[in-house]
Amino acid sequence: MSIKEAMSRFTTGVTVVTTHYEGQDWGMTCNSFNTVSLEPAMVLWSIRKEANSHEAFTQSGSYVVNVLQADQKDTAMRFASGPQAQRFAEQASERTAKNNVKLNGSVAWFECRLAQVVTAGDHDILIGEVVGYGSQDGEGLAYANRQFGVLSAFEN
Ligand SMILES: Cc1cc2nc3c(=O)[nH]c(=O)nc-3n(C[C@H](O)[C@H](O)[C@H](O)COP(=O)(O)O)c2cc1C
């Protein structure tokens, strides 16, 4: 079994991280998101150093983490490959004051000011201070073993 396979056993949520850089929207599917600190509110995610959007996310200064809802599997797939313009096409969304895209239908969003970049192997860990957030009721999209699903709670 490969290390990638072992890592894929860990069940996560799924997010799409967006930013606005040099007059263009950038977005990518990300499951390395996690919460870090409450006071101040801080969150992290990691980006592959070779990603085309690496410069945008490390230089723009801010980004939005959109936590996907269970019915947003297609959105997760669309933001994982292809040209950036195609990812945002026909995507219902709003903009924050910092001009970052907020995807409609997400169960939560966190707008962050990039606070720290920690280099770790072939990825960079982006630590952000949360400057805005929101949430709505709904089930999150889950991901494990390279498959999407939804978490069903045990009955008490
Ligand atoms: C479920 C899922 C989770 C992903 N999580 C990450 C991640 O945490 N970090 C990352 O760099 N890439 C992640 N990817 C891959 C990126 O979405 C993909 O490489 C990126 O969109 C490629 O675009 P770019 O090279 O044009 O920036 C994930 C893909 C999927 C399908």
108-117 pLDDT per residue, tens: 999 999 999 9
User: Which residues span the domain enclosing 55?
Assistant: 3-149
Q: Which CATH number does the domain housing residue 76 bear?
A: 2.30.110.10
- Confidence at residue 153, expressed as pLDDT on a 0 to 100 scale: 86
pLDDT of residue 156 exceeding 80, the answer is no
pLDDT of residue 49: 98
Please indicate, yes or no, if residue 156 is contained in any of the structural domains: no
Asked, for residue 55, whether it belongs to a domain, the answer is yes
Choice from 15, 30, 32, 66 to test ligand 1 binding pocket (greatest atom count within 8 A of CB): 30
Asked whether residue 74 is domain-assigned, the answer is yes
Domain tally, the chain: 1
Name residue 41's beta-bridge partners: 38
**37: amino acid identity, one letter:** S
* Ligand 1 touching residue 80 (CB < 6 A): yes
Q: Does some domain include residue 35?
A: yes
- Name the H helices within the chain: 3-7, 54-59, 73-78, 84-88
Number of other residues whose CB lies within 10 A of the CB of residue 50 = 8
pLDDT tens-digit series, residues 31-41 = 999 999 999 99
**At 105, is the pLDDT very low, low, confident or very high (cuts 50, 70, 90)?**
very high
Q: How far is CA 113 from the centre of its chain?
A: 14
Contact between 13 and 143 under an 8 Å Cβ cutoff? The reply is: yes
Q: Is the CB of 19 under 6 A from ligand 1?
A: no
Instruction: For 76-101, give one letter per residue: b (16+ CB within 10 A) or e.
Output: bebbeeeebeebbeebebeebebebb
pTM comes to 0.97
What is the rounded distance in angstroms from the CA atom of residue 20 to the CA atom of residue 64? 10
